Amino acid sequence: MSGHSKWANIKHRKAAQDSKRGNLFQKLVKAVIIAAKEGGGDPAMNMRLKAAIDRAKAASVPNDNIIRGIKRGTGEIEGAQYEEITYEIYGPSGVAILLEVLTDNRNRTASEFRALLTRNGGALGESGSVAWMFERKGVAEVSGKDLDEEAMMTAVLEAGAEDLERQDDGYLVYSDSSIVNDVKESLEKAGYEVVRADSEMVPKNLVLVDSKEKAGKVLRLIDLLEEHDDTQNVYANFDIPDEIMDSLEE
């Protein structure tokens, strides 16, 4: 799974930017609404809702907003009705992108993304054209410096997870998506700090982006997709070498 941690670090940088832009709360509440709509308003019986609530609380979304989101999802109070759409995108340099959105106006959203892609070297693909390059996995991030890898691997296997990957400040732990919350709880009981745990689309293979110019185009498109108000998640299969990433951040 080489390269995934680099993408995770990029996503975390974007999450910080998202928070500064002020639309992170809106996106997180949308996720609560759709989870409650699909699986009911009880997080004990709806793992997707539980994960959405956990993400919202971690980002300091006010509890009242979360409760209203649940009630909107279950129909207890009125509000915009959102639907989930996944766009499959061909990006610059042969990069494949999966874009998950929540929208209350399918036609508007599709038109806006088509225009954005046309201006930035991307194109919408047909259904199935990109999705086969990804697989859904549970991903838990464990934070901590100088963690013992052997002990970590033992804890991961005991938790029912499949693999782990070192990051600068911890590990990513991969599991079947259906047990990611169980993995999180097991790791926490073992004394590890789990900063996030969710179901994600993980690329099966990575595309090397081997120049600063190409990397700039890819990251610009990812930035623009992330910034859109309807975007929930962006997954991509690129790998940018460290030296190129460093040069972009200078």
Distance of CA 105 to the CA centre of its chain: 22
pLDDT digits (tens, 9 = 90+) for 30-73: 888 888 888 899 988 888 888 889 888 888 888 998 899 899 88
CATH number at residue 60: 1.10.10.200
pLDDT attached to residue 15: 52
Q: How confident is the model at residue 18 (pLDDT cuts 50, 70, 90)?
A: low
Mean pLDDT score, 23-31: 84
Task: Tell me, yes or no, whether 173 and 124 share the same domain.
Answer: no
CATH number of the domain bearing residue 193 = 3.30.70.980
One domain for residues 195 and 233: no
Residues 144 and 169 in one domain: yes
What's the pLDDT score for residue 169? 80
Taking only the tens place, the pLDDT of each residue in 99-112 is 999 888 999 999 99
The strand ranges marked E within the chain are: 83-90, 96-103, 123-124, 134-143, 163-167, 170-175, 193-203, 207-208, 231-236, 238-239
Q: How far apart (Å, rounded) are the C-alpha atoms in residues 100 and 109?
A: 12
Please report the pLDDT score of residue 175 as a whole number.
92
Q: Does 46 lie in the same domain as 15?
A: yes
Shared domain for 193 and 154, answered yes or no, is: yes
Most confident of the following: 39-53, 107-121, 200-214: 107-121
* 183 shares its domain with 217: no
Among 22-26, 119-123, 125-129, the minimum mean pLDDT is found in 22-26
Which is it for strands 163-167 and 193-203: parallel, antiparallel or unpaired?
Answer: unpaired
Q: 182 and 154 in one domain? A: yes
Query: Mean per-residue pLDDT for 191-196?
Result: 88
Which of 5-19, 52-66, 191-205 is predicted with the least confidence, judged by mean pLDDT?
5-19
Burial 127-165 (b: 16+ CB within 10 A, else e): eeebbebbeebbbbbbeeeebeeeebeebbeebebeebb
Domain stop point among 74, 91, 114: 74
SS3 83: strand
Domain boundary among 51, 74, 97: 74
Looking at 56, 74, 92, the residue that finishes a domain is 74
Contact 91, 221 (CB under 8 A): yes
The structural domain count of the chain equals 3
Averaged pLDDT, 174-184: 89
Same domain, 197 and 213: no
One-letter amino acid for residue 7 of the chain? W
141 and 186 assigned to the same domain: yes
Same domain, 227 and 193: no
> Which range of residues forms the domain containing residue 45?
4-74
Average pLDDT, the chain: 85
Whether the predicted pLDDT of 13 surpasses 70? no
- Supply the DSSP symbol for 211: S
